[in-house]
Amino acid sequence: MKNTRRHFLQNFAVSAIGLTVLPRLGLAGKPDLYEQPYDGPVLRVAIMGLGSYGSRVAEAMQSCKKAKLVGVISGTPSKIKDWQGKYNIPEKNCYNYGNFDKIKDNPDIDAVYVITPNALHHDQVIRVAKAGKHVICEKPMALNAKEGQEMVDACRKANVKLLVGYRMHFEPHTLEVIRMRNAGEFGKVLFFQGLCGFKIGDPTQWRLNKQLAGGGSLMDIGIYAVNGARYMVGEEPVWVTAQETKTDHEKFKPGVDETIQFQLGFPSGVTASCLSTYSMNNLDKFFLNGEKGFAEMQPSTGYGPIKGRTHKGELNQPVVVHQTVQMEEMSDIILNGKQPVVPVNGEEGVKDLKIMDAIYQAAKTGEKVSLKL
């Protein structure tokens, strides 16, 4: 089994099969929204990219009430056949990478979830937008901020919504920490630490291919620290410094980062210290410190269960399947105009890309890079 980020995160997770029943459990045994009858609009989704994470999303969507898997887009005919049988997908909703523009003429698909290697997102999202369908794109949204902005512009021009797969923006423990911060329970925020990493395996995988991944650990696991610093602190950074360390030049070719440490500065004076790496395990931790208290989450971004504590004690929010909740919420955003606590739109994705562009620049030049998001 390849030691990819997907498998690493699963080390922190209970099995996906075990988790599928958990969204149905409410607090104190009371039925939650998943047990309530639903009679509203349903977002009909085609998944593009039928790899390990696409499979995870598909499985999670089986528990959704507001979103339904209705189509697939893949370059592998055998996968399409497997998914057709498993998820009862009609032939007319199956496409390959060459002909998926034809979804323009398919009224039974509302949105496409793009789950392909990073370098493919830009062109695929723009093609989906031109076909008149809403888009959900995995993170990082693109290889750089310029590409990301072009995607946002294309979706705006086509009058379709562009969302990014920020599943943590809907995760209950994460939202509780954000609620506590907004309520002033930590007092003035002073410091954030984000540690994200694992020891990557198979050297031939696309995540270690500069052309497909656009970088290395930062573009894969480090984005969680970039994005997490923003939603945990509740501000946008104004400067960044960074340092890159590389111990295995054979595995990590030029342009593929092994380890990057980076620091962010925020307008209020908060600083963040973060680590992104492909060469160390046991790293999935967020820490937020304030004048009146703290929040610590470990695991902080794995597939679940997320665990954490604050100065007030353990966090005991419901354990959920992240992708199920994400797709339910994204359905509400696309179909009903719901505003989430933390945005998941394309503009949010561009902000992360601007920060990552600056991190790479700072690591290369050794200089402090100013940010304007």
Reading the block at residue 215, the tokens are 């970088």
| 25 φ/ψ angles, rounded to the nearest 5 degrees | -95, 120
The residue-averaged pLDDT of 353-367 equals 98
* Cα 342 to Cα 59, 128, 230, 355, distances in angstroms: 25, 25, 10, 18
The per-residue pLDDT for range 213-233, each reduced to its tens digit, is 999 999 999 999 999 999 999
List the one residue out of 232, 243, 217, 223 whose CA is nearest residue 355.
223
CA atoms of 367 and 262, how far apart (whole Å): 12
Say whether pLDDT at 20 is over 90. no
Tokens 């999670």 belong to 60
Residues 346 and 141 sit within 8 Å (Cβ to Cβ):
yes
Say whether pLDDT at 95 is over 60. yes
pTM of the complete model beyond 0.85: yes
Reading the block at residue 243, the tokens are 């340092």
Alpha carbon 308 to its chain's center? 20
Residues 371 and 240 sit within 8 Å (Cβ to Cβ):
yes
pLDDT at position 26: 42
List the one residue out of 154, 110, 153 whose CA is nearest residue 129.
154
Reading the block at residue 8, the tokens are 């690493």
pLDDT at position 36: 74
**What is the number of alpha carbons within 13 Å of residue 163 lying toward its C-beta?**
27
Terminal Cα distance for the chain, rounded:
40
**What is the percentage of the chain residues whose pLDDT exceeds 70?**
91
Residues of the chain with CATH 3.30.360.10: 168-317+346-370
What single-letter DSSP state applies at residue 338?
Answer: -
What single-letter DSSP state applies at residue 170?
Answer: G
Say whether pLDDT at 11 is over 60. no
**What is the number of alpha carbons within 13 Å of residue 268 lying toward its C-beta?**
14
Cβ contacts of 171 within 8 Å, gap of 6 or more: 306, 320, 322, 325
Say whether pLDDT at 265 is over 60. yes
Residues of the chain with CATH 3.40.50.720: 5-167
The residue-averaged pLDDT of 32-43 equals 79
Say whether pLDDT at 29 is over 50. no
Residues 308 and 295 sit within 8 Å (Cβ to Cβ):
yes
Say whether pLDDT at 198 is over 80. yes
pLDDT at position 19: 40
Reading the block at residue 353, the tokens are 């890309």
31-35, 112-116, 131-135, 234-238: segment of lowest average pLDDT: 31-35
- Sorting pLDDT into bands at 50, 70 and 90, what band is 28? very low
List the one residue out of 342, 73, 105 whose CA is nearest residue 333.
342
The per-residue pLDDT for range 98-155, each reduced to its tens digit, is 999 999 999 999 999 999 999 999 999 999 999 999 999 999 999 999 999 999 999 9
Say whether pLDDT at 16 is over 50. no
List the one residue out of 151, 157, 112, 56 whose CA is nearest residue 334.
112
Say whether pLDDT at 329 is over 80. yes
Tell me yes or no: is domain 168-317+346-370 CATH 3.30.360.10.
yes
- Sorting pLDDT into bands at 50, 70 and 90, what band is 25? very low
Q: Is beta strand 111-114 parallel, antiparallel or unpaired with respect to 134-137?
A: parallel
Residues 157 and 128 sit within 8 Å (Cβ to Cβ):
no
CA atoms of 292 and 186, how far apart (whole Å): 5
DSSP of 339-351: --SS--BHHHHHH
The per-residue pLDDT for range 290-322, each reduced to its tens digit, is 999 999 999 999 998 999 999 999 999 999 999
Cis omega (within 30 of 0) on the bond before 172?
A: no
Residues 211 and 119 sit within 8 Å (Cβ to Cβ):
yes
The per-residue pLDDT for range 186-197, each reduced to its tens digit, is 999 999 999 999
Reading the block at residue 339, the tokens are 């505003």
Residues with catalytic roles:
139, 224
Reading the block at residue 295, the tokens are 């929040």
pLDDT at position 57: 98
- Sorting pLDDT into bands at 50, 70 and 90, what band is 32? low
Reading the block at residue 76, the tokens are 């592998």
Structurally, what CATH architecture does the domain formed by 5-167 represent?
3-Layer(aba) Sandwich (3.40)
Reading the block at residue 113, the tokens are 């979830």
- Sorting pLDDT into bands at 50, 70 and 90, what band is 40? very high
Q: Pick the residue with more confidence: 361 or 9?
A: 361
**What is the percentage of the chain residues whose pLDDT exceeds 90?**
90
